[in-house]
Amino acid sequence: MLSRGFFGVRRPKPPRDIPPGQYYETGFPVLTYGPTERVSTADWKFTIDLGEDGSKSWNWDELLAMPQTDIHTDIHCVTKWSMLDSDWKGVDLDVFFEQAGVDPSEDYLMVRSFGGYTTNLPVSDVRDGKAFIVHEFDGEPIAPEHGGPVRMIVPHLYFWKSAKWVESIRFMDQDAPGFWESNGYHMYGDPWREQRYWGD
């Protein structure tokens, strides 16, 4: 006997090309390792570690006072779903760098979340409008399950690079793995090159 599932789930056809091995997902799945963090806007704070120069932080009110950007983008998760045409609102990482007066000489950074999740990125992948600290999804506050009140999005890389409940950034001279990168996921994670796992 073959179960119905054997023949696969019927998936809608995506309106345009999506990266290899991905399927078009019309919902927004939740993927968290461990529990949902409950961070209030009153407790939320985002910090850039400036090494010997100390650090610079922004609270919720300061985040909302920064220049806001509407982001319309596709999201690709390594578990193979792609969400197309998602809408976010938040602040470009470049603005944080500007306000912190930082032009890092290091090539990499580690993003940390409330709760301890980490993920590594090249600095060049969060500059020039490629990464955002966001507080709205689809015109609404981001739900806690999706990383609200504030998460990061780096839409051009697999979605594990987009830290929920984002807390801080620190720069690194050399690349080093974050949580999933220590557990088999690719150090960079380009969905168009299918960089899912070590060795891809």
Ligand X SMILES: Nc1nc2c(c(=O)[nH]1)N[C@H]1C(S)=C(S)[C@@H](COP(=O)(O)O)O[C@H]1N2
109 and 123 Cβ atoms separated by less than 8 Å: yes
* Residue 163 contact among Mo ion, ligand X, none, beta carbon within 5 to 8 Å by kind: ligand X
Q: Which one, 29 or 51, has the nearer CB to Mo ion? A: 29
152 and 163 Cβ atoms separated by less than 8 Å: yes
173 and 161 Cβ atoms separated by less than 8 Å: no
Q: Does 81 bind Mo ion (CB under 5 A)?
A: no
CB of 189 to Mo ion, least distance (A): 10
Q: How many residues bind ligand X (CB under 6 A)?
A: 17
Q: Which one, 104 or 115, has the nearer CB to ligand X? A: 115
Give the DSSP letter of residue 52.
Answer: G
**Two structure tokens written together for 137:** 């999804």
Strand, coil or helix: what is 90?
strand
Q: Which one, 63 or 83, has the nearer CB to ligand X? A: 83
Q: Does 31 bind Mo ion (CB under 5 A)?
A: yes
Residue in 151, 133, 152, 132 with CA at minimum distance from that of residue 143: 151
Q: Which one, 29 or 51, has the nearer CB to ligand X? A: 29
Q: Does 84 bind ligand X (CB under 6 A)?
A: no
Q: Which helix (H) or strand (E) holds 65?
A: helix 60-65
Contact footprint for ligand X (CB under 6 A): 29-33, 77, 113, 115, 117, 146-147, 159-160, 162-165
